[in-house]
Amino acid sequence: MNVKVGFLVAILLVPLMNGFSQPVSTFQLAWASYTVAENGGSGDITVTRSGDTSSMITVDYTTRDGTATAGADYNAQSGTLTFAAGETNNTFAIPIIDDGFVEDDETVNLTLSNPTGGAMLGAQSNAVLTIRDNEIPIVVDTIRTVHSIRVSLISRAPSECFR
Ligand SMILES: [Ca+2]
Ligand SMILES: [Ca+2]
């Protein structure tokens, strides 16, 4: 290979190799699990973008019932997050419904999809939001309650009971 050809090959190869070594934009959920109190208003979910941050690109998000039920425990959400050039964090909110029922803690599944601009999804493209119930269970011991009413009636003089 003569000098001229070698120079030409170098000119062609350098941008090509740079193109391969460019880090790709990667979207992930910041955490694998999130927690919100049932009366906490909303669960704020953070999405991160790493690698190439030079251009504006988007990623979609959606919620799906785990043990929680959309419309009863939370409001289902889906949409598109836009990351401006240089932006590495974005959030979306899941409104929580504060019902009056005593329940177990309930879960909502979160999923990222459809990254644009050649971006990809990282390992953590799914996460779980746990809604912590805020009702205090009231245990009524009916046998003891009935027994104590009977005892209090028996221990009174008959005249007191029928006043
Ligand atoms: Ca609930
Ligand atoms: Ca509840």
State residue 10's pLDDT score: 52
Measured in Å, residue 27 CA sits from the centre of ligand 2 at: 33
Measured in Å, residue 62 CA sits from the centre of ligand 2 at: 23
Spatial contact of 130 and 107, defined as CB atoms under 8 Å apart: yes
Q: For residue 79, give its domain range.
A: 24-138
Report d(CA 62, CA 157) in Å as an integer. Answer: 68
Neighbours of 90 (CB within 10 A): 19
Measured in Å, residue 88 CA sits from the centre of ligand 2 at: 35
- Residue 152 within a domain: no
CATH code of the domain in which 96 resides: 2.60.40.2030
Measured in Å, residue 78 CA sits from the centre of ligand 1 at: 20
State residue 107's pLDDT score: 98
- Residue 126 within a domain: yes
- Residue 124 within a domain: yes
- Residue 155 within a domain: no
- Residue 29 within a domain: yes
Measured in Å, residue 96 CA sits from the centre of ligand 2 at: 10
Measured in Å, residue 92 CA sits from the centre of ligand 1 at: 20
Supply 25's token pair: 């934009």
State residue 137's pLDDT score: 76
List per-residue pLDDT tens for the chain, 163 residues long.
Answer: 565 655 555 545 554 555 555 689 999 999 999 999 999 999 999 999 999 999 999 999 999 999 999 999 999 999 999 999 999 999 999 999 999 999 999 999 999 999 999 999 999 999 999 999 999 877 666 666 555 555 554 555 555 545 4
The DSSP line for 80-148 is EEEEPTT--EEEEEEEBP--S-----EEEEEEEE---TT-EE-S--EEEEEEEP-PPP----HHHHHHH
Neighbours of 125 (CB within 10 A): 19
State residue 136's pLDDT score: 84
Q: φ, ψ for residue 112 (rounded to 5)?
A: -95, 150
- Residue 161 within a domain: no
Which pTM value belongs to this model? 0.72
- Residue 92 within a domain: yes
Measured in Å, residue 150 CA sits from the centre of ligand 2 at: 35
- Residue 153 within a domain: no
The 3-state DSSP class for residue 64 equals strand
Among the bound ligands, name the one nearest to the CA of residue 100: 2
Count of domains forming the chain: 1
